Amino acid sequence: MSWLPKSPKARRRLWVVAAVAPVLALAVSLSLYAMRDNVTFFFSPSEATAQTAPTGRVIRLGGLVEAGSVVRGANGEVAFAITDNAATTRIVYQGDLPDLFREGQGVVTQGAFLPDRSFRATQVLAKHDENYMPREVADRLKAKGEWRPEGGAPAAGAASR
């Protein structure tokens, strides 16, 4: 075997690496396999099709709250629509909305699509001040050429990570 090193010390190191590498590869692959269901993808309303965001899969859906779409039910349920100015998705949320939630503002919702393609949110996140829009929402709106920050300057949270 001419490819093996001649030094016993180097040969021992090679055997240790050869033994550890498959164990490490197995550990990494098992970890990634176990975490596959914990990955939450982000979509805008126009990207959330039945193929990319199937019924029952937990995703994040972000956009602007459509003006005039917020309807509050008697049992604490709130229905509203979010848009990216290309498509609109109806959101149903049970619970208290963030204090800064309002029409025309950026939000990110987490939940799953129902069979009727409405979105049942388990969490709603709203912007925290006048200069911030969730980065994912701003990036999607910028990519479509639809979002214009007030004053012409980029939003504080949208440009940097």
Residue 55 annotated as binding?
Answer: no
- 156 C-beta neighbours (distance < 10 Å), count: 13
* Residues contacting residue 148 through CB under 8 Å, at least 6 positions apart: none
Residue 95 annotated as binding?
Answer: no
Q: Are 79 and 109 in contact (CB under 8 A)?
A: no
Instruction: Write out the binding residues for heme.
Output: 128, 132
Instruction: Write out the binding residues.
Output: 128, 132
